[in-house]
Amino acid sequence: MLSRTADHLFWMSRYTERAENTARMLSVSYETSLLPQSAAEAQAGWQGLLSISELMPAYTQKHGEVTPARVLEFMVRDGDNPSSIFSCLRAARENARAVRGALTTEIWETQNQTWLELRRHLEDGALERDPGQFFEWVKYRSHLSRGVTLGTMLQDEAFHFLRLGTFLERSDNTARLLDVKFHAAAKDFFGRASERNLESDFYHWSAVLRSVSAFEVYRKVYRDVITPGRVADLLILRRDMPRSLHASMREVVDNLAAVANAQSDETQRRAGRLLSDLRYGRIDEILATGLHAFLTQFLDRVNELGARISQDFLVLEAD
């Protein structure tokens, strides 16, 4: 496969996943803002959302004070913000258009229709009327894109580059979400019981779980009160939790193996080592050294993997 084709497929899926992740975080932040809380807590929630994507400097330069309306505008429809839902779905559609020949008709029509409908929704004021319903629509279109890919595409190299982009992006986002949310609760988390009251804890950690569709999964797995340590365990080490770091990295390793070439041995080794750390890790050992330190290192290793994948597979060939 040509590197330019692999590059477009990889980034098409990354941008689609990023749009969904942004919608998930915005949805939870919006719903949490409707709960009784102090102005300082509400402000911290919206600031945390910007911190997850490392967008606080860009936001401050453009909008100044952090307000819910301005954050929604910046994270949903701002075409100058590369992580906004508008920018991500536009980039996903443009990457899909560039490699239409490598996609099935159903995949292309799904990407194109998502972009056209997004523009209509934003022009019709759907975000302002019901933000929650708008975010559900974004998540639904991402689910549809993945379902159509699985249901219609030959599982060749093109398919594996699509999957590789999806799960590399997902692992990065889940780690960022965990880091910011746990950092908001404490400077670092070493597994000690939270000193905040139980009611506040329940809503805080419920929001974390709901942002990755894990609230019902948590209840099924642990059948007990929500605790920070178990939230970390579920979203880091559980192989059977679809959006966990373990599950995401397992997909990255499997799809890397499927597209391996003569220069990707070191990339595969590093991905495999990272997966092994998650596969054989224990949450008490992770918490003993501090969750923030673990997640920071994980993000550095994932970013390095992304750079190595680009170097091994996606560097454009000379004409």
- For the segment 134-166, what is each residue's pLDDT rounded down to a tens digit? 999 999 999 999 999 999 999 999 999 999 999
Tens digit of pLDDT for each residue in 198-249?
A: 455 777 788 889 889 999 999 999 988 888 889 999 999 999 999 999 999 9
Please give the structure tokens belonging to residue 46.
């919206």
Number of C-beta neighbours around residue 252 at 10 A: 27
How far is residue 286's CA from residue 226's CA, in Å, rounded to a whole number? Answer: 19
> Which pTM value belongs to this model?
0.90
Angle between helix 157-185 and 39-52 (nearest 10): 150
Q: Please report the pLDDT score of residue 53 as a whole number.
A: 80
Q: Please report the pLDDT score of residue 44 as a whole number.
A: 79
Q: Quick one: pLDDT band at residue 189, thresholds 50, 70, 90? A: low
Q: Quick one: pLDDT band at residue 45, thresholds 50, 70, 90? A: confident
Q: Please report the pLDDT score of residue 186 as a whole number.
A: 52
The answer on pLDDT for 122 being more than 90 is: yes
Percentage of the chain with pLDDT > 90?
Answer: 67
Q: Please report the pLDDT score of residue 195 as a whole number.
A: 42
The answer on pLDDT for 276 being more than 60 is: yes
Q: Quick one: pLDDT band at residue 317, thresholds 50, 70, 90? A: very low
Q: Please report the pLDDT score of residue 198 as a whole number.
A: 47
Q: Please report the pLDDT score of residue 208 as a whole number.
A: 84
